[in-house]
Amino acid sequence: MFVKEHAEQLMMEDLCKKPVDGFSAGLVDENNVFDWSVSIMGPPDTLYEGGFFSAIMSFPQNYPISPPTVRFTTEVWHPNVYPDGKVCISILHPPGDDPNGYELATERWSPVHTVESIVLSIISMLSSPNDESPANIDAAVTTIAVIAPSEPPMLLPLI
């Protein structure tokens, strides 16, 4: 029970901090501290500028030992967002070695991460998509064509 109470305390402290520019969060239900409603403004000078994106950040009972999940509820066409809206970035992957060998253990979840660091990583993801390990291959191909139309198309390995 201590882990759950500690997780609730950490999440409430994060929720009460001054929000990151272009980001806001609140509880989906005041009786459930484990599900947050998150709003992110599309970063300037990106394909997402002017966009307003809603997501749900769900924390596991053993947070901060395990990472939360983030799922956009607004449709987002992005290489690192699965078609169902789930965000695929390194710091949201479980700690330890990557079974696929794409990420270093130091790039994955660590209990030192905060809601702020997660949101900053998502904003960074919107600014700089990682097309080397896409969650949405079609979005990766489209994004590459829009960002670098003069370069020849890159073939992505099927996983």
pLDDT for residue 30 is more than 50: yes
Number of domains in the chain: 1
Give the closest residue to 126 by CA, choosing from 23, 36, 24. 23
The verdict on whether 16 is a catalytic residue reads: no
Of residues 101 and 73, more confidently modeled: 73
Range of the domain at 44: 2-147
pTM of the full structure: 0.81
Any idea what the CATH number is for the domain that residue 45 is in?
A: 3.10.110.10
Q: Do 113 and 91 contact (CB within 8 A), yes or no?
A: yes
Chain position carrying tokens 């966009």: 51
Q: Which amino acid is at 15?
A: L
| pLDDT tens digits along 80-94 | 999 999 999 999 999
Q: Is residue 44 one of the residues assigned to a domain?
A: yes
Which alpha helices (DSSP H) does the chain contain, by range? 2-16, 115-127, 137-147
Q: Is residue 91 one of the residues assigned to a domain?
A: yes
Q: Is residue 159 one of the residues assigned to a domain?
A: no
* Sign of the dihedral through C-alpha 130, 136, 142, 146: negative
Give Cβ neighbours of residue 21 (< 8 Å, ≥ 6 apart).
Answer: none
Beta strands in the chain (DSSP E): 23-29, 32-41, 52-58, 69-72
pLDDT for residue 43 is more than 90: yes
Q: Do 136 and 83 contact (CB within 8 A), yes or no?
A: yes
Q: Is residue 11 one of the residues assigned to a domain?
A: yes
Residue 22 CB neighbour total at 10 angstroms: 16
Q: Is residue 36 one of the residues assigned to a domain?
A: yes
Chain position carrying tokens 């272009």: 22
Q: Is residue 154 one of the residues assigned to a domain?
A: no
What average pLDDT does this structure show over 41-54?
A: 93
Longest dimension (CA), the chain: 57
What phi and psi values does residue 79 have, to the nearest 5 degrees? Answer: -60, -30
Give the closest residue to 138 by CA, choosing from 51, 63, 80. 80
Which residue of the set 7, 25, 33, 88 is catalytic?
88
Q: Is residue 152 one of the residues assigned to a domain?
A: no
Q: Is residue 133 one of the residues assigned to a domain?
A: yes
